[in-house]
Structure 1
Amino acid sequence: MLRGGSRDKLGKALANWFHANDIPGRKADCPYFRSAIKLAQECGQGVHIPSGKELDGKFLDMNYEDMEAHMAKFKDDWKEYDVIVMCDSWTGPTMMCIINFMVYCNERMFFHKSINATGRVQNAEFIYDCIREVVVDEIGVKNVIQIVTDNGSNYKKACWQLITRYLHITWQPCAAHTINLMLKDISCFSEVSEVVDDAKRICTFFYNHNRLHAMMREKIGGELIRWNATRFGTVFIFLQSFWDRQDKFMQWMVCDDWKNNAWKDEADHAFTYDCLLNRRWWSDMELVLNAVTPIYTVLRYMLINKKMQL
């Protein structure tokens, strides 16, 4: 029998557990968490809470067995619907390099395996051996109709060797990676690189001084979105964050806080002032953004769309 305030008591208890273990509150939206709470409500009193040893022991084994059974059903579809193998390499902050393999079949995708490539030369021969092991030895070459990888020359050469040997298999470069390389080429044009370099110089000036950075946040109402050296689409997101605050930047440049700040004698101070009050500079930025927006929109759609896109 529920009493008044029961939901608040439950919420408070769960919040204590979440926050004590540094778990973000959004994890409460996980369907597995919600189903576990619902099952606990159905079980009622008298059921002992599983220990940590049990969770990491027999219950983990039970879930693993369930997943194995689910995977067995998934593998049964391989012969009927065929398989697309997706390969992606990733390097973490500790410079550990992992090559991941995913399998797509009948509108479902599963993680297949990962290979630790740390310390290995990822040339075409090494990539070919990795892909061939997955396609031929593990999945079965008769079940595979397509391989999707990034657009690097090592992957191109490796996949070319494979598809010339197994003619029914096609190779498809990752569309997101291809568009990222297109944006890289676009950023090399002088009309683009000049605007980007100017904006980076201004941004670096702001962020190199704590007080100036704090003043910037106050004047423009937030942060600038920083760029990523390997994700060239982020360069144009960075420019967009400038463009969206054009009026606030210009207002800041003509106020006394800017004219009389502690960095007024630095060269970057004058450079920032000249750029952010220059209508021509803003027009050049608008031209760049208008040129790349259609391409970036496609890239963003592919990266955030949850439905699997081939």
Structure 2
Amino acid sequence: MEKRKFEEESYGGEAPAQEAESPNPVQAVVPTTTRDKGKRRAVVATQIGSYFKERTTPRSQPTLKSVLASKEIVHKAKLGLAKWIVDAHIPFNAIQSLYFQPALDGVAVIGPGFKGPSYDEMRVHLLADLKREYQLLVEKYRSSWKSTGCTLMADGWTNQRQRTLINFLVYCYAGMSFVKTVDASDVIKTANALFNLFALVIEWVGPSNIVHVVTDNAANYVSAEKLIHEKYPNIFWSPCAAYIINLILKDIASIPHIVDIASRASKVTVFVYNHMILLSWLRKRKSWTKIVRPGVTRFATVFITLKSIYDHKEDMQSLMVDKYFTSHK
């Protein structure tokens, strides 16, 4: 009787007649001693944790303590976070991070007295733990490359120091992972040089795992991908869609009447932004937003600016006939 009573207390109810015959897989690994009761709770939590929403998710049941908290206390807590964000010059869009609310939940679970990580902890131990965690995530992605295949993507760009960099990324159904960045400033980007760079990454990912390679449509990349397909027949190549669209817009922007329209739009934009008095009048309009200035790096900027000026047509016309403009020197 004492043994059965002990088992009932361990399980929180009646003890099972025969644990080996239980169809529940959780019970098969549940400890039956008071010392291991914490392990039992952890096992059960992993099995049923997905059936319950977090208390911070929409339409979830809040805790009694959070309900009884006054508006002043809630506002003071938010004000403390706001002071830290402003003092540390953290962009406001950092609040939209997926890890922001879980971080607050972790602090709330510990309760009062929790002390944040120190500077040394952050730059040494915690940073190493984060690196290890993301390495495990990448390894998880790598395990799916063999079964689903993956796409190798190469993005070449030039930074502010005029260094030519090539980013290599791998995309699969499980997710996208960053592989490496290669500084190709001192490399003449011939077909053979690019082929050697791609071959190193392909060997690391696994030639049998890659089914698709996406790069720019430049002639040297096209020649390099032909060499890759000759060595790895299972790998196929296609140009980047964004790069193709950029080339299409470049050709459209070179049409004579489009060039004329873009030139006039540029003069309008320069005129408005060079006269702050007129710009201040336009900013008082309810429908006024900033005009996108033409850029030399993206051909789409020309068409975005034309669309923006067209949207501001009524505001511009109102300025031209207003006494504020006609009576100005």
Classify the TM-score, shorter chain: 0.7 to 0.9
The equivalent residue for 2:212 is: 146
The equivalent residue for 1:204 is: 270
The equivalent residue for 1:68 is: 135
Q: Give the Cα–Cα distance (whole angstroms) in 2 for the partners of residues 157 and 256 of structure 1.
A: 63
The equivalent residue for 2:100 is: 33
The equivalent residue for 1:229 is: 296
Residue 21 of structure 1: which of 88, 91, 96 is its match? 88
Residue 183 of structure 1: which of 249, 266, 269 is its match? 249
How much has 1:226 moved relative to structure 2? 1.3
The answer on whether the counterparts of 2:145 and 2:172 sit within 8 Å (CA) in structure 1 is yes
Is it true that 1:80 corresponds to 2:147 in the alignment? yes
Structure 1 107/150 Cα, relative in aligned 2: closer, same or farther at 3 Å? farther
The answer on whether the counterparts of 1:228 and 1:234 sit within 8 Å (CA) in structure 2 is yes
Q: Give the Cα–Cα distance (whole angstroms) in 2 for the partners of residues 48 and 197 of structure 1.
A: 59
The answer on whether the counterparts of 2:282 and 2:315 sit within 8 Å (CA) in structure 1 is no
Q: Give the Cα–Cα distance (whole angstroms) in 2 for the partners of residues 120 and 215 of structure 1.
A: 53
How much has 1:60 moved relative to structure 2? 1.3
Give aligned-pair identity as a percent: 30
Q: Deviations over 1:252-277 (max 9, x none)?
A: 22333333444xxxxxxxxxxxxxxx
Q: Deviations over 1:263-301 (max 9, x none)?
A: xxxxxxxxxxxxxxxxxxxxxxxxxxxxxxxxxxxxxxx
The equivalent residue for 1:106 is: 173
Aligned with 2:233: secondary structure?
Answer: coil
Q: Give the Cα–Cα distance (whole angstroms) in 2 for the partners of residues 178 and 36 of structure 1.
A: 41
Aligned with 2:294: secondary structure?
Answer: coil
Range with bigger deviation, 19-28 or 112-121: 112-121
How much has 1:170 moved relative to structure 2? 0.8
The answer on whether the counterparts of 2:217 and 2:244 sit within 8 Å (CA) in structure 1 is yes
Number of residue equivalences: 261
Q: Deviations over 1:221-262 (max 9, x none)?
A: 232111221211111110001111112222222333333444
Is it true that 1:54 corresponds to 2:142 in the alignment? no
Q: Which has the larger radius of gyration?
A: 2
- With normalisation by structure 2, the TM-score equals 0.73
Aligned with 1:31: secondary structure?
Answer: coil
Q: How does 1:261-300 map to 2 (within 5 A)?
A: 261-262=328-329
Task: Give unmatched runs, 5+ long, in structure 2.
Answer: 1-64
- With normalisation by structure 1, the TM-score equals 0.77
The answer on whether the counterparts of 2:144 and 2:174 sit within 8 Å (CA) in structure 1 is no
The answer on whether the counterparts of 2:292 and 2:304 sit within 8 Å (CA) in structure 1 is yes
The answer on whether the counterparts of 1:103 and 1:112 sit within 8 Å (CA) in structure 2 is yes
How much has 1:212 moved relative to structure 2? 4.4
Consecutive aligned runs of 4 or more in structure 1 exceeding 6 Å deviation:
none
Partner AA of 1:158 in structure 2: A
The answer on whether the counterparts of 1:206 and 1:216 sit within 8 Å (CA) in structure 2 is no
Which structure has more RCO (C-alpha within 8 Å, separation ≥ 6)?
1
Partner AA of 1:12 in structure 2: L
The equivalent residue for 1:268 is: none
Q: Give the Cα–Cα distance (whole angstroms) in 1 for the partners of residues 150 and 78 of structure 2.
A: 44
Task: Give unmatched runs, 5+ long, in structure 1.
Answer: 263-310
Range with bigger deviation, 61-70 or 168-177: 61-70
